[in-house]
């Protein structure tokens, strides 16, 4: 049985530490009834320069973020898409991502900073891939997309990674239950 309702989330950040680094880009799609019904994508101004290694990895440059809103202005929209505002009649949906704990921790911290609640069930395509493909040497998003022949045009850009993670999940879903 295919899972029908969830939100796929991916972030790009200035680094790996939720305490020291900031969100640069958010990408998310809402899947309901097995179909993408909504999406959200935005740059986020981190309030500091983008580290050179992050620009090399993502292609995100300081000039791209100059007019972007800060996280406090966009976190509500992100949580709304995630269905985390039940007072507005939203169904609370589980999150899906590749190494989702990373993205979850940054969104959770941003929600806490904005005095908003954020508690989600989360599914991780990395963990699913470890079970489904134990002999595969690498289970990075890039390696898994290559294995399943999922096109990967703009690696480390939030919305591209979201769509690739969704396609990967649909491939993995046939081989293991979440």
Q: Is 90 a catalytic residue?
A: no
The angle at the Cα of 72, spanning 154 to 60, to the nearest 5 degrees, equals 25
Instruction: Tell which phi-psi region holds residue 42, choosing left (phi > 0), alpha (psi between -120 and 50) or beta.
Output: beta
Backbone angles phi, psi at 43, to 5 degrees: -80, 155
Per the CB < 8 A criterion, the answer to whether 80 and 88 are in contact is: yes
* pLDDT for 177: 55
* pLDDT for 86: 45
* pLDDT for 1: 52
Consecutive 10-residue averages of pLDDT for the chain (178 residues): 85 97 97 92 97 97 97 94 58 86 97 91 94 94 96 92 96 73
* pLDDT for 173: 86
Contacts of 89 (CB under 8 A, 6+ apart): none
> Which of 90, 98, 154, 156 is an active site residue?
156
Per the CB < 8 A criterion, the answer to whether 104 and 122 are in contact is: yes
């Amino acid at each position: 049985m295919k899972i029908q309702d969830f939100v796929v989330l991916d972030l790009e950040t200035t680094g790996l530490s939720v305490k020291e680094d900031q969100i640069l880009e958010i990408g998310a799609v809402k899947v309901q009834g097995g179909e993408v019904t909504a999406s959200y994508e935005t740059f986020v101004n981190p309030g500091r320069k983008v580290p050179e290694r992050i620009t090399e990895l993502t292609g995100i440059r300081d000039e791209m973020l100059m007019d972007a809103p800060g996280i406090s202005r966009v976190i509500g929209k992100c949580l709304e898409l995630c269905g985390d505002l039940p007072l507005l009649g939203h169904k609370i949906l589980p999150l899906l991502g590749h190494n989702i704990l990373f993205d979850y921790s940054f969104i959770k911290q941003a929600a806490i900073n904005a005095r908003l609640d954020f508690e989600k069930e989360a599914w991780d395509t990395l963990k699913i891939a470890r079970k489904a493909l134990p002999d595969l040497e690498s289970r990075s998003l890039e390696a898994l997309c290559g294995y399943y022949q999922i096109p990967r045009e703009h690696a480390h850009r939030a919305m591209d990674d979201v769509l690739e993670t969704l396609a990967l999940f649909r491939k993995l879903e046939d081989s293991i239950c979440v």
